[in-house]
Amino acid sequence: MALSERKPAVPAERLVAEMVPPPRFSGVSFGSYLPDPTQPSQQQAVGVLEEFAAGLNAAEAPKRGWFRKAKPPQGPAGVYLDGGYGVGKTHLLASLWHAAPGPKAFGTFVELTNLVGALGFQQAVRTLSGHKLLCIDEFELDDPGDTVLVSTLLSRLVEAGVKLAATSNTLPEKLGEGRFAAADFMREIQGLSANFRTVRIDGQDYRHRGLPAAPAPYTDEQVTERAGRAPGASLDDFAALLDHLSAVHPSRYGALLDDVHAVFLRGVRPVEDQSTALRLVVLADRMYDRELPITASGIPFDQVFSEEMLKGGYRKKYLRAVSRLVALARDSAK
């Protein structure tokens, strides 16, 4: 099959139903998180989130007496995970989701804005207000309009008693040696700042601890031949796939990968413009979520984005995409 020939349609109901951790994190827990022993903040973050989950579960415990009114969960309305890419923030966020009582929802910032766009603001508020926990991965600060929209949504949800947990994704001028600027995130969510407890997570990208650089690409012929032998394989020319992504809304990139078990790409080349690069970032995230190994010819994935792009306003996104694409390319060689 060719991804560049697919035109998926995603109804709003599916967007709501799929607000769960992606397949890569469907079975994670606090116990399966492997903190770096040289970074104490990672183990400390586990403790904070376990305590947060315990508070949510305590609120669900049955109360004695016929007329005793249940008390709302104590503590902050939200927890914000502040750290660089590859330190396991998504793993911890998904672990919190699994440990918490339902109803609950999990999604990236982009998926949340897509949900609001599909349902409308008021219906999104009504849909999520009955939840006990909303987890937002990769909260982005590079689109002021979307950020204010979600900030307003979160304010309404906190008023309804929904607990929040988030990880962040900021512009490079707000980074400090690879770490996020929590204060800027707090300002963006305006009046919610006092309700969030910030949890700092330091460390290096776990995907590349002690591992070599990106694997050498295959030839076009090798990619085609391997795709022909792999069940559930997609096979595309890289340029054609990038062109096709411009005609598919990013909210549908997950559906684009339905029933795909391995991705094969011919002719990977440098991405020339920012819009195309950002679409590739979203696709890389969805492929990584689904643990799809990538077999590719052309250039290695650590050369896809130019030095100029890696120093620009979306540096953090590009570095995360490179990290994930390289990891998936390694998976194909196993």
pLDDT tens track for 87-99: 889 999 999 999 9
42 assigned to some structural domain: yes
**Number of domains making up the chain:** 2
Do 154 and 188 sit in the same domain of this protein? yes
Give residues with Cβ within 8 angstroms of 110, minimum separation 6: 138, 140, 250, 251, 282
Q: Which strand ranges, in their side-by-side order, compose the sheet holding 163-169?
A: 104-108, 133-140, 163-169, 78-83, 196-201
Question: Last residue of a domain, which of 165, 181, 205?
Answer: 205
- The residue segments making up the domain with residue 49 are 31-205
Do 173 and 229 sit in the same domain of this protein? no
Do 234 and 199 sit in the same domain of this protein? no
Do 125 and 194 sit in the same domain of this protein? yes
pLDDT for 11 equals: 81
Do 180 and 215 sit in the same domain of this protein? no
pLDDT for 164 equals: 94
Question: Last residue of a domain, which of 155, 178, 205?
Answer: 205
6 assigned to some structural domain: no
Q: Which residues of the chain have pLDDT under 70?
A: 61-76, 85, 141-145, 169-195, 204-213, 334
19 assigned to some structural domain: no
pLDDT for 250 equals: 84
Do 154 and 60 sit in the same domain of this protein? yes
pLDDT for 251 equals: 80
Task: List the CATH number of the domain containing 85.
Answer: 3.40.50.300
Please give the torsion angle defined by the CA atoms of residues 281, 285, 291 and 296, in that order, rounded to the nearest 10 degrees: 0
93, 157, 223, 324 from 244: Cα distances, Å: 32, 36, 20, 21
pLDDT for 152 equals: 86
pLDDT for 171 equals: 38
Do 244 and 111 sit in the same domain of this protein? no
pLDDT for 249 equals: 85
174 assigned to some structural domain: yes
pLDDT for 238 equals: 97
Do 233 and 123 sit in the same domain of this protein? no
pLDDT tens track for 161-204: 999 999 875 533 343 333 345 555 556 555 666 667 888 888 76
Task: Return d(Cα 104, Cα 92) in angstroms, integer.
Answer: 16
Task: Return d(Cα 53, Cα 95) in angstroms, integer.
Answer: 9
8 assigned to some structural domain: no
Do 181 and 218 sit in the same domain of this protein? no
Do 163 and 39 sit in the same domain of this protein? yes
Do 193 and 233 sit in the same domain of this protein? no
14 assigned to some structural domain: no
pLDDT for 150 equals: 81
pLDDT for 268 equals: 97
Question: Last residue of a domain, which of 146, 174, 205?
Answer: 205
Do 178 and 304 sit in the same domain of this protein? no
10 assigned to some structural domain: no
pLDDT for 215 equals: 81
13 assigned to some structural domain: no
**Residue 163 CB neighbours (<10 A):** 27
